[in-house]
């Protein structure tokens, strides 16, 4: 048996204007978890896409169990025992859970037709082995993001893969679901599988991985045992400089009340009787367990979800956000939880994705737009947000997740909102880019705006917010100044109405 389960030697990949991978080597041992880390745009996803047959590498070789392999496409990789769970889910949302697990490889009955019952039975067996409680006949679109992520992981396991790539697997999982994933990983390790674990969550890396490889600017920087890689060293290797603080110090004072929400309830969600205030220059965090109603609250305030009752008062004026367009006109902006599904226009260039929410600023009479002005503003936002891209004409879908998020943030900053609603704004983003986004949030607050941040990472809320509102069961369970907040108190409140 080969010393390594997987070897990628001197992999090079070039896109027009960008050398994405420059002679990268990466090896995974049998029965181990190998963390792959680096800033957004460092080349991690590109390297994995070359492994999985999504991209054709320019040079280098890939060995699986000591044998040279060349995967022509993802199905070829899966057939050889290499599976990949992508950060951005790409599922058949109108089909059942079972259909999504077995699509393209349904179990066949003796009568030579697709056996739905057999597919459901096999799905239940897999779910039972992984301690997943999901009905195989449930339609995917009815499931939460975290549950759909869990289904995707189960699908990878169903292939009997030797190598499983997990790209930000816990980005949509709560604490209990994360613990379940870690149990699954431990089980797979014991079976001899190699897990490639891509994450920006340092605490997870320290806990779950055996080795760490750091990439920067398309190059291999370092590989070592996790126990020999302190957090400070990993961060320094990732960003190429010393990053002394994970969170910038907030300097701006908190002023008068800018937003009042009174007794807000959703018509079709479980947000119930929610009241809170937001002040000028304040960053309000919203904490809670999965299903607590945090995302639903933002969607109700922004007009995506219909309100059944309640009031929204902005700068002393009652407003009716009956749609996102009306909310935008009233001075609200929302960055959604799922970039790929409802945040970006994947086939459009960065320019269109940047100016789409503020097109009225570029009208040149009638239906014409001032192209030069749009290019100028896009270039300004690319520079201000430090977006890594060959240029404004690049399609946004080709950017890393973190750089896509920067473009979306820049889009809404161009609308000059009074209130910025951020749903998991740093999900799947590296530590350096996180710091930049935190700084931008604070700079917006310093201009007298109000910012509401939903996050599943309690250290993030404690690090950047002035105050934390805890939700439980669709209601407000508590409101705590950050100076008095602890993770234990937040968790106690989060379980109040469960």
pLDDT digits (tens, 9 = 90+) for 56-104: 999 999 999 999 999 999 989 998 999 998 876 778 889 999 999 988 7
User: Rounded distance, CA 144 to CA 60, Å?
Assistant: 40
- pLDDT confidence bin for 440, thresholds 50/70/90: confident
What does the block give as tokens for 94?
């109108």
pLDDT digits (tens, 9 = 90+) for 275-330: 999 999 999 999 998 788 999 999 999 999 999 999 999 999 999 999 999 999 99
Do 363 and 225 fall into the same domain? no
C-alpha triplet 146, 30, 4: angle, nearest 5°: 125
* Domains of the chain: total: 2
Do 160 and 192 fall into the same domain? yes
Whether the Cβ atoms of residue 123 and residue 98 lie closer than 8 Å to each other: yes
- pLDDT confidence bin for 454, thresholds 50/70/90: very high
> CATH number, domain at 350?
3.40.50.300
Do 270 and 212 fall into the same domain? no
Do 182 and 44 fall into the same domain? yes
Burial class, 371, CB count within 10 angstroms (exposed 0-12 / middle 13-18 / buried 19+) = exposed
Q: How do beta strands 219-225 and 211-216 pair?
A: antiparallel
Q: What is the CA radius of gyration of the chain?
A: 23
Q: Is residue 245 part of a domain?
A: no
Q: Is residue 109 part of a domain?
A: yes
Note the pLDDT of residue 107.
Answer: 57
What are the residue ranges of helices labelled H in 22-103? 44-51, 74-79, 97-102
Q: Which among 211, 239, 267 is the end of a domain?
A: 239
- In Å, what is the CA distance from 135 to each residue of 2, 19, 97, 127, 182? 40, 45, 7, 9, 22
**Range name among 198-202, 207-211, 351-355, 478-482 with the lowest pLDDT average:** 198-202
Residue 466 has pLDDT above 50, yes or no: yes
Do 307 and 359 fall into the same domain? yes
Do 405 and 283 fall into the same domain? yes
Whether the Cβ atoms of residue 117 and residue 111 lie closer than 8 Å to each other: no
Note the pLDDT of residue 1.
Answer: 65
Note the pLDDT of residue 436.
Answer: 82
DSSP-derived 3-state class of residue 57:
coil
Q: Is residue 251 part of a domain?
A: no
Residue range 240-268: mean pLDDT, rounded? 86
pLDDT digits (tens, 9 = 90+) for 8-29: 999 999 987 778 899 999 999 9
Do 372 and 306 fall into the same domain? yes
Note the pLDDT of residue 113.
Answer: 44
Note the pLDDT of residue 36.
Answer: 95
Closest by CA position to 476, among listed 497, 445, 455? 497
Assessment of whether the complete model's pTM goes beyond 0.75: no
Residues in a beta bridge with 369: 363
Residue range 405-432: mean pLDDT, rounded? 87
Tell me what the pLDDT averaged over the chain comes to: 88
Q: Is residue 247 part of a domain?
A: no
Question: Residue 230: which H helix or E strand, with range?
Answer: none
pLDDT digits (tens, 9 = 90+) for 189-206: 988 899 999 988 888 899
Q: Is residue 252 part of a domain?
A: no
Note the pLDDT of residue 4.
Answer: 93
Residues in a beta bridge with 261: 276, 312
Determine the structural domain holding residue 87 and report its residue range: 4-239
Do 143 and 291 fall into the same domain? no
Residues in contact with 208: Cβ distance below 8 Å, sequence separation at least 6, in sequence order: 33, 35, 182, 185, 197
Q: Is residue 295 part of a domain?
A: yes
- pLDDT confidence bin for 110, thresholds 50/70/90: very low
DSSP-derived 3-state class of residue 358:
helix
Residue 219 has pLDDT above 50, yes or no: yes
Burial class, 454, CB count within 10 angstroms (exposed 0-12 / middle 13-18 / buried 19+) = buried
Q: Is residue 174 part of a domain?
A: yes
User: Rounded distance, CA 428 to CA 409, Å?
Assistant: 15
Residue 109 has pLDDT above 60, yes or no: no
Residue range 103-108: mean pLDDT, rounded? 69
- pLDDT confidence bin for 111, thresholds 50/70/90: very low
Q: Which among 209, 239, 269 is the end of a domain?
A: 239
DSSP-derived 3-state class of residue 377:
helix
User: Rounded distance, CA 186 to CA 164, Å?
Assistant: 13
pLDDT > 70: what percent of the chain?
A: 96
pLDDT > 90: what percent of the chain?
A: 49
What does the block give as tokens for 82?
């290499």
User: Rounded distance, CA 17 to CA 11, Å?
Assistant: 18
Q: Which among 210, 239, 268 is the end of a domain?
A: 239
User: Rounded distance, CA 427 to CA 425, Å?
Assistant: 6
pLDDT digits (tens, 9 = 90+) for 400-415: 777 888 899 889 888 8
Whether the Cβ atoms of residue 219 and residue 26 lie closer than 8 Å to each other: no
Q: How do beta strands 163-167 and 194-198 pair?
A: parallel
Residue 40 has pLDDT above 80, yes or no: no
Other Cβ atoms closer than 10 A to 453: 25
Q: How do beta strands 194-198 and 257-266 pair?
A: unpaired
Place of tokens 């750091």: 214
User: Rounded distance, CA 72 to CA 454, Å?
Assistant: 41
Do 54 and 152 fall into the same domain? yes
Note the pLDDT of residue 478.
Answer: 93
Residue range 104-117: mean pLDDT, rounded? 57
User: Rounded distance, CA 281 to CA 263, Å?
Assistant: 23
What does the block give as tokens for 402?
């973190």
DSSP-derived 3-state class of residue 85:
strand
pLDDT digits (tens, 9 = 90+) for 159-189: 888 999 998 888 767 777 788 888 888 988 9
Do 72 and 188 fall into the same domain? yes
Whether the Cβ atoms of residue 378 and residue 350 lie closer than 8 Å to each other: yes
What are residue 106's phi and psi, to 5 degrees? -60, 140
Do 39 and 147 fall into the same domain? yes
Sort residue 433 into left (φ over 0), alpha (ψ -120 to 50) or beta: alpha
Q: Is residue 110 part of a domain?
A: yes
Do 232 and 267 fall into the same domain? no
């Amino acid at each position: 048996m080969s010393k390594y389960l997987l070897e990628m030697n001197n992999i090079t990949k070039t896109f027009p204007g960008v050398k994405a991978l420059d002679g990268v080597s990466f090896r995974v041992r049998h029965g181990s978890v190998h963390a792959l880390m680096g800033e957004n745009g460092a080349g991690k996803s590109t390297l994995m896409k070359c492994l999985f047959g999504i991209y054709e590498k320019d040079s280098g070789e890939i060995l699986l169990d000591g044998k040279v392999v060349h995967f022509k496409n993802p199905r070829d990789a899966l057939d050889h025992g290499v599976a990949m769970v992508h950060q951005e889910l790409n599922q058949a949302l109108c089909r059942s859970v079972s259909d999504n697990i077995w699509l393209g490889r349904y179990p066949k009955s003796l009568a030579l037709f697709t056996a739905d019952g057999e597919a459901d039975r096999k799905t239940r067996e897999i779910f039972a082995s992984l301690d997943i409680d999901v009905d195989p006949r449930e339609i995917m679109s009815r499931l939460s993001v975290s549950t759909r992520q869990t289904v995707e992981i189960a699908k990878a396991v169903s292939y009997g893969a030797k190598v499983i790539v997990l790209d930000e697997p816990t980005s949509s999982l709560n604490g209990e679901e994360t613990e379940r994933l870690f149990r699954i990983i431990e089980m797979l390790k014991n079976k001899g599988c190699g897990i490639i674990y891509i994450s920006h969550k340092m605490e997870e890396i320290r806990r779950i991985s055996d080795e760490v490889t750091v990439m920067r600017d398309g190059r291999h920087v370092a590989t070592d045992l996790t126990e020999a890689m302190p957090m400070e060293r990993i961060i320094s290797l990732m960003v190429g400089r010393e990053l002394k603080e994970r969170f910038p110090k907030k300097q701006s004072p908190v002023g008068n009340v800018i937003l009042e929400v009174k007794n807000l309830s959703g018509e079709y969600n479980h947000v119930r009787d929610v009241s809170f205030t937001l002040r000028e220059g304040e960053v309000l965090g919203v904490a809670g367990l999965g299903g607590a109603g945090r995302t639903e609250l933002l969607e109700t305030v922004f007009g995506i979800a219909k309100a059944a009752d309640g009031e929204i008062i902005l700068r002393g004026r009652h407003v009716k956000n009956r749609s996102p367009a009306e909310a935008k006109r009233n001075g609200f902006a929302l960055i959604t939880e799922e970039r790929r599904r409802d945040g970006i226009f994947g086939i459009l260039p960065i320019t269109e994705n940047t100016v789409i929410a503020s097109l009225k600023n570029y009208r040149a009479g009638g239906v014409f737009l001032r192209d030069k002005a749009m290019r100028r503003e896009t270039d300004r936002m690319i520079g201000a947000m430090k977006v890594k891209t060959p240029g404004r004409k690049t399609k946004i879908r080709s950017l890393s997740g973190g750089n896509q998020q920067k473009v979306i943030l820049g889009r809404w900053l161009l609308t000059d909102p009074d209130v910025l609603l951020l749903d998991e704004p740093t999900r799947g983003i590296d530590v350096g880019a996180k710091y930049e986004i935190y700084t931008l949030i604070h700079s917006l607050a310093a201009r007298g705006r109000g910012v509401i941040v939903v996050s599943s990472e309690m250290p993030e809320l404690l690090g950047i917010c002035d105050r934390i509102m805890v939700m439980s069961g669709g209601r407000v369970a508590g409101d705590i100044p950050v100076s008095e907040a602890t993770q234990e108190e937040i968790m106690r409140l989060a379980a109040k109405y469960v």
